[in-house]
Amino acid sequence: MLANLKRLLLLAILLLLGIAVLIFVLQNRQPAHLVLLGWTTSELPVAVLLSASFILGVLLSLLGSLWLIGRLRLRISRQQRELMNLRPRDGN
């Protein structure tokens, strides 16, 4: 029962977020261009530029997280090998 409540709550939150994004997109249709380090985009709606920057930020943070997780897994495996080498062997 609690799992169903969590699912409904998550669905309601996602629905509200979707409605908020839709309102944002519909209200921010005026064209704008972005200049970054001398690189200029063509005129696009503000919502498109902000959505693209959000998606790029999510992808970059995901790549950074995956890199850190990989480093931690390597450290864990190295420490497990060291621990196995330090344990006394049976039969000696």
| 37-88 pLDDT, tens digit each | 888 888 888 888 888 888 899 999 999 999 999 999 999 999 999 999 988 8
CA–CA gap between residue 21 and residue 15 (Å, rounded): 10
The reported pTM is 0.61
- What is the percent of the chain with per-residue pLDDT over 70, rounded to a whole number? 97
CA–CA gap between residue 17 and residue 52 (Å, rounded): 17
CA 87 to the chain's CA centroid = 40
**pLDDT of the residue at 92:** 56
